[in-house]
Structure 1
Amino acid sequence: MFAVRRIPGALLFFVAACLIAGQVSAQSWQETNPSIAGWSAEKLEAARRYSTSLKPTAFMIVQDGKVIASWGDVSHKVNVASVRKSLLSALYGIAVSEGRIDLSSSLADLDIDDKVPSLTAAEKTATVRDLLMARSGVYHPAAYETGEIKRKRPARGRAVSRVMV
């Protein structure tokens, strides 16, 4: 039986944030009966009350491409910045808890490199944990970075202390 408690709160929040950003329209999704899909009506109501207390524009839960529940104006577009990193972190959390990803694996361990200019040997020592915590020491130019970000980016090859937090 699928229950709300199995979905990390952060993941539900960020799915809602994507909807708020106008990335998904409720009109393109097929609705389903939540109880048939294994959802608890009581827990969905608790999720609705909690999310409403956060005052989002809208909220939607989607499972297997079908709308389980939604409230608010899911067609309203709202500009949201930097939700991608948080959503990916939540998804990584699921994979880590299932034992599919080892946060201590380095880029070298995983045979990960970048297009030219390739990562340096020092950059390849960064772990998945370092990357998720934005302390990897990898200072590659990013796609679509702003001029300000480019000016603030440290030079490649600069030593970085990866202090455990």
Structure 2
Amino acid sequence: MRALRTLALLPLILFSLLSSTAALAETMYQVEVIVFRQTTQQLAAARPAPDDWAQGALPIDPNQERATSLNNEAGKLTPANGYNVLLHKAWAQSIGTSPASVALSTGTEQFGHFPVEGTLNLKQDRLIDLDAKLWVNRFDDSGLLSSSELIKHSVRLQSGELTYLDHGSLGLLVRINPL
């Protein structure tokens, strides 16, 4: 009789093990990004950002946007200190073993482009892999994109750790915390 009860519980035990494994595969995080410029330096702009800058990445769902927590750090990036914050956003996102891509932008859209636009690709193995590709755009008097600066980095991040990525006159601060 005891063997029959144990046998009857086996599917339930297996299902709970599979469910917990799937839950570990994708974890919710708060991702926060600050893109800033050093006002004392400005690189000569390269060719403009491509029209398909988002490369199939989806914009941040407004329901997933979160309050920013790196406000002290952003507050230090002032023109008086030689910096200018170009983008500061935080959102909730699930990150798993398959890359998850999000499109970031800020400012007024002009002919399909924003003053700051780009993508972040995130995936997690033991650490979190980040591929960032962000453009800071300049527009001519008619609103057409005339030139862009690109910050492109691939880095492994430790969860909860503030990471600084430097690219000439542009910088990126990123922190990814589990929710």
TM-score if structure 2 supplies the norm length?
A: 0.24
RCO higher in 1 or 2 (8 Å CA, sep ≥ 6)?
A: 2
Counting strand residues as a fraction of each chain, which structure ranks higher?
2
Larger radius of gyration: 2
Give TM-score, length-normalised by structure 1: 0.25
